[in-house]
């Protein structure tokens, strides 16, 4: 949804959920695994435009900042690694632990739009961070935080 908050300000919001579900049978160790997760998410952005285009009828420059959040708490039936061999521990358990972990993620971003003549340019900086919330050693869960940064430059010829 997007709202106009006066002549120069706008706000936007989004929310929803996704569902991920799979059941598998691992032939390496002949075990069944089931993971189901509903992942709610929400995000928002606020933007301000300024300046005029060359034609004088539209805003040509702007800035926006936003943030989004998501969480996942899957229902899972995942075998314990304590009774499994090396192949299971190295190949299967890490992938299952990642999918089965409770986790939270957040993203924040800032974007600047500048128009020069008829050509608009965008520069956007984004930071994303995720961390596992459930630590069950028998599943070899992921630990720590994962943070990524991105810088994007866009131009529309």
For residue range 71-129, list pLDDT tens digits in order: 888 887 777 777 787 877 777 777 777 777 888 899 999 999 998 888 889 999 999 99
Please list, in sequence order, all residues whose beta carbon lies within 8 angstroms of the beta carbon of residue 150, skipping any fewer than 6 positions away.
124, 125, 126, 128
Neighbours of 102 (CB within 10 A): 16
Q: What is the pTM of this model?
A: 0.72
């Amino acid at each position: 949804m997007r709202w106009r908050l006066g002549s120069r300000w706008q706000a936007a919001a989004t929310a929803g959920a996704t569902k991920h579900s799979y059941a598998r049978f691992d032939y390496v160790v002949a075990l069944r695994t089931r993971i189901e997760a509903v992942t709610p998410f929400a995000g928002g952005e606020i933007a301000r435009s300024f300046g005029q285009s060359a034609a004088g009828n539209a805003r040509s420059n702007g800035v926006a900042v936003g943030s989004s959040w998501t969480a996942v708490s899957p229902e899972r039936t995942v075998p314990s690694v304590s009774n499994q061999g090396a192949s299971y521990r190295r190949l299967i358990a890490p992938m299952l632990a990642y999918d089965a972990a409770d986790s939270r993620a957040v993203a924040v971003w800032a974007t600047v739009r500048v128009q020069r003549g008829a050509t608009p340019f965008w520069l956007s900086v984004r930071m994303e961070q995720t961390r596992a919330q459930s630590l069950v050693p028998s599943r070899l869960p992921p630990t720590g935080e994962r943070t990524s940064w991105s810088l994007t430059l866009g131009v529309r010829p």
